Amino acid sequence: MANVQQRVASDMANVQQRVVSDMVNVQPICQFYNKQFHFATLYNRDHRAPLYSAYILKTAHQPDQRPPNPTWYYETQLANSNGEQSMKPFPVNDQNVRESQAMDEDYATASLHTRGHLNAAGHQKTVDDVEATFTLTNIVPQRLGSNNGPWNVLENEVLGRLAHCTGEMYVITGAIPYKTESEFKKHWLKDKDGKDRVAIPEYMWSAYCCPNHTPNTQFFPTYAAVGRNDPDSNNDTGQRIQCAGE
């Protein structure tokens, strides 16, 4: 396990370097829904996808409240700097919105990828908290089979560890773009005309910190994991999700 921890610690350092180097044309978003702020996102306009979302997981978590047929939202501020500070439901017929962020149809026609939450819908406390996660500014193209497979297992593990916190758990989850320009250009969701629409990440990662926790717990109060979003990636960061903080 020590080798895995060292490997993931190194990987997470590389995550920061690759994300920071990609911070061009990005915008922080305070995700606002139903008259309340819910979480924070750093969004890349060029990729039409988030770099990461940060949120607080509380011990008062309720059972899974995800809607069977969710409404999807877009962010008006990305399209207009003077736009209302609140997410709006699709559909929308606005070229400024289309150029600045992902659209509902970008994912509706994707065959190999699903809508991957960064701020997990299953980690929320209230119905409004859940609803707020269904903005496409919180979504990346996640490989089919991962969303309801290994990544879902990871999200449930994090939720299980919440029981060992005596206060709030701080969670940040993000996506890592392809390292080389040649690979980056190959991996996009495309529209019906074959034009690049949403950048597909090579990896996804997540980390949490639990400042206050039960004494002598079997789990470390900090935790990080990185998982491959591309099974054919030549980068050897990990064939599967690797974790540190066990």
**What pLDDT score does 7 carry?**
47
- Enclosing domain of residue 168: 2-244
**What pLDDT score does 60 carry?**
55
Q: For 13, what's the count of Cα atoms within 13 Å in the CB-facing half-sphere? A: 6
**What pLDDT score does 20 carry?**
53
Query: CA 213, CA 164: separation in Å to the nearest integer?
Result: 6
Please give the tally of structural domains in the chain.
1
Torsion of CA 151, 157, 162, 163, to 10 degrees: 160
Q: Which residues of the chain have a pLDDT value below 70? A: 1-23, 59-65, 233-246
Q: What residues form DSSP beta bridges with 25? A: none
Residue 207 burial (CB count, 10 A): 22
**What pLDDT score does 16 carry?**
52
CATH of the domain at 204: 3.40.570
